């Protein structure tokens, strides 16, 4: 018997490795982070949280910002991504670990359409996606390792996890953590420290604007930074 049921009255998948209720980073902090570069958040956080640099938005100008909905998927299988679509809440970023089976097209136009209809905030996946031309012009932001048309399976009995901690590169991501991605890459900021990191990031942006103003006036980086 399949232990992963879909309850029509709840419209949410459930099972022994699915957590439906998580604590998310505050929406006020998400909106503040939306205007900040991923690199600034990384520096202000103490140079932590950088996901593997191969993971980039599929189009220039895409911005990803929201709480993590973590998904650990079996290699070469995207059924757990479909389940996650209906566990996630509006604004959530699906953050997907593919068990090192990078070269499959785990996500495409159909799933982006479904995610948009659900009001989700984006996808960050350490594998590949397909339908690249369509995804690049979509309003739904996607960050991935690249493009691959190889099809995925849907093994009903394969074990996966939703809203459990996962690791990308050397970064542990907890459900509800702040995820921000832009042209420089993707950063994960722990939920518990997000407020301080955002405050420090805003201060850093002001400081850097002041430095650039001084440079335009003819000062040198050597003296400004006392190198």
Residue 110 in marked binding region: yes
Counting beta carbons within 10 angstroms of the beta carbon of residue 223, is it exposed (0 to 12), middle (13 to 18) or buried (19 or more)? Answer: exposed
- pLDDT tens-digit profile of 126-174? 999 999 999 999 999 999 999 999 999 999 999 999 999 999 999 999 9
Q: What is the CATH number of the domain that holds 191?
A: 3.50.30.40
Whether pLDDT at 3 is above 60: no
Q: How many residues does the chain have?
A: 227
Average pLDDT of the residues in 55-69 = 97
**What residues make up the domain containing 51?**
5-224
pLDDT for the residue 11: 64
Q: Give the span between the Cα atoms of 172 and 219, in whole angstroms.
A: 41
Q: Which residue has the higher pLDDT, 12 or 112?
A: 112
Q: Give the span between the Cα atoms of 91 and 27, in whole angstroms.
A: 9
- pLDDT tens-digit profile of 165-210? 999 999 999 999 999 999 999 999 999 999 999 999 999 999 999 9
Percentage of residues in the chain having pLDDT higher than 70 = 95
Counting beta carbons within 10 angstroms of the beta carbon of residue 205, is it exposed (0 to 12), middle (13 to 18) or buried (19 or more)? Answer: middle
pLDDT for the residue 7: 45
Domains in the chain: how many in total?
A: 1
pLDDT for the residue 9: 43
Query: Average pLDDT over the chain, rounded to whole?
Result: 94
Residue 131 in marked binding region: yes
Q: Give the span between the Cα atoms of 17 and 33, in whole angstroms.
A: 30
Whether pLDDT at 10 is above 70: no
Q: What DSSP string runs through 32-86?
A: HHHTS-HHHHHHHTTS--BPPTT-EESSTT--EEEEEEEEE--TTB-HHHHHHHH
DSSP state of 181: E
Average pLDDT of the residues in 58-85 = 97
CA angle, 181 as apex, 12 and 33 as ends, to 5°? 90
Q: The pTM is what?
A: 0.93
């Amino acid at each position: 018997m399949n232990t992963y049921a879909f309850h029509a009255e709840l419209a949410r998948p459930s099972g022994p490795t699915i957590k439906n209720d998580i604590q998310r980073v505050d929406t006020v902090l998400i909106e503040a982070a939306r205007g900040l570069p991923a690199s600034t958040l990384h520096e202000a956080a103490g140079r932590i949280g950088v996901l593997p640099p191969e993971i980039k938005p599929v189009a220039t100008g895409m911005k990803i910002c929201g709480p993590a909905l973590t998904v650990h998927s079996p290699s070469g299988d995207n059924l757990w991504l479909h389940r996650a679509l209906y566990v996630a809440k509006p604004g959530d970023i699906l953050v997907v670990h593919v068990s090192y089976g990078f070269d499959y097209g785990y996500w495409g136009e159909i799933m982006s359409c479904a995610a948009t209809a659900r009001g989700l905030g984006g996808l960050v996946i350490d594998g590949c996606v397909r339908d690249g031309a369509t995804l690049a012009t979509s309003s739904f932001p996607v960050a991935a390792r690249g493009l691959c048309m190889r099809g995925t399976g849907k093994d009903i009995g394969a074990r996966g996890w939703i809203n459990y901690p996962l690791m990308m590169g050397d970064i542990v991501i907890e459900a509800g953590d702040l995820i921000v991605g832009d042209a420089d890459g993707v950063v994960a900021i722990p939920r518990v420290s997000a407020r301080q990191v955002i405050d420090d990031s805003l201060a850093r942006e002001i400081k850097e604007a002041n430095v650039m103003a001084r440079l335009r006036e003819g000062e040198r980086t050597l003296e400004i930074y006392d190198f």
